[in-house]
Amino acid sequence: ELPSPMERLLCGDVGFGKTEVAIRAAFKAVNSGYQVAVLAPTTLLAEQHYRVFKERLAQYPVRVAMLSRFRSKAMITRDVQDIAGGSVDIAIGTHRLLSKDVKFPKLGLLIIDEEHRFGVRHKDRLRRIQSNVDTLYMSATPIPRTLNMALAKLKEISLMQTSPKERLPIRTIITPRDMEVIKDAIRREVDRGGQVFFVHNRVQTIETVAAELRREMPDISFMVGHAQMPEHHLEEVMKAFVDREFQVLISTTIIENGIDIPNANTILIDRADTFGLAQIYQMRGRVGRSNRRAYAYLLIPKGTTAVARQRLEALT
């Protein structure tokens, strides 16, 4: 409502409710007669936002569309035409939103989720679409460039410092990779009715790891999810996990950003020594999104150096 466009960084811990703020901001913009673009770094996150926005705005005459590889060509073509015609109020998507054929006649608010995953060029392309658009950046781990701009007063910054009610801190355990530890962690979570994420970031060997876990724990159901699977198959796996049809999801870092599954409260990260701290921090934020105590196991190989271990201890 100010004469100059908003440039605001919303920085809050993982699972603190940044999406809720985005929904309310989008609703306000739509009510004022503008279109809203929501940009997410991964297809899974775009899909989740689409679901959440539709649920939350179900009783209002707001039309939400999604552009990503989970959509058929015909659906995307129709949505792109409707965006240009102005009949879509909120468009949610991955980099597909930045394509040349997507034109917003009255864009009023741009929401960039997990802004640390987008390059400078992507953000500037959005600038070119329209120069006087209000922009809301959201991230739990903003990149130094964005933080620098916020501290230099080029962007406004808002901090979310209180967690939702009844949220317990996540317990982080650094341990050598041992099958007994893995079995114990998975069993403990399954016994209390929960689900588990097992992160293994090599597509080449992920099936081998899955086979090993299935052999060790035949009574527990495992599924594999990674970005090189066919789109519809990945979508089915994620949907089945949300619907609690199986207990352990073995995946790559595709789950790193924003995925919200309250029933999953244990995460095991294989070869944690090969990840950056912000990455582990984001992945750990996938659990502990309900009122149960959550556990994150950082599995490291036997010969890990003391320095590598100390680096990981910054997270505990």
DSSP 10-72: EEE-TTSSHHHHHHHHHHHHHHTT-EEEEE-SSHHHHHHHHHHHHHHTTTTT--EEEESTTS-
Give pLDDT, residue 271.
93
Express each pLDDT in 109-132 by its tens digit: 999 888 888 877 777 776 676 667
Q: What is the DSSP letter of 97?
A: G
Residues 203, 236: one domain?
yes
Residues 199, 99: one domain?
no
Q: Is 209 part of any domain?
A: yes
Domain count, the chain: 2
- Four-CA torsion 75, 78, 84, 87, nearest 10 degrees: -90
Residues 183, 154: one domain?
no
Kindly state the percentage of the chain with pLDDT values over 90: 46
Domain residues for the domain of 181 are 171-313
- Residue 163, pLDDT > 80, answer no
Q: Is 249 part of any domain?
A: yes
Q: Is the pTM of this model over 0.85?
A: no
Cα 124 to Cα 134: distance, rounded to the nearest angstrom: 14
Average pLDDT over residues 256-268: 83
Residues 99, 208: one domain?
no
Residues 52, 137: one domain?
yes
Which has the higher per-residue pLDDT, 53 or 239?
Answer: 53
Cα 196 to Cα 299: distance, rounded to the nearest angstrom: 15
Give pLDDT, residue 92.
94
Express each pLDDT in 72-111 by its tens digit: 889 999 999 999 999 999 999 988 888 888 888 888 899 9
pLDDT band (50, 70, 90) for residue 192: very high
What the block records as the tokens of 76 is 């995307």
Residues 87, 119: one domain?
yes
Residues 13, 154: one domain?
yes
Residues 120, 204: one domain?
no
What's the CATH code of the domain at 306?
3.40.50.300
- Residue 14, pLDDT > 80, answer no
Tell me what the pLDDT averaged over the chain comes to. Answer: 88
- Residue 282, pLDDT > 90, answer no
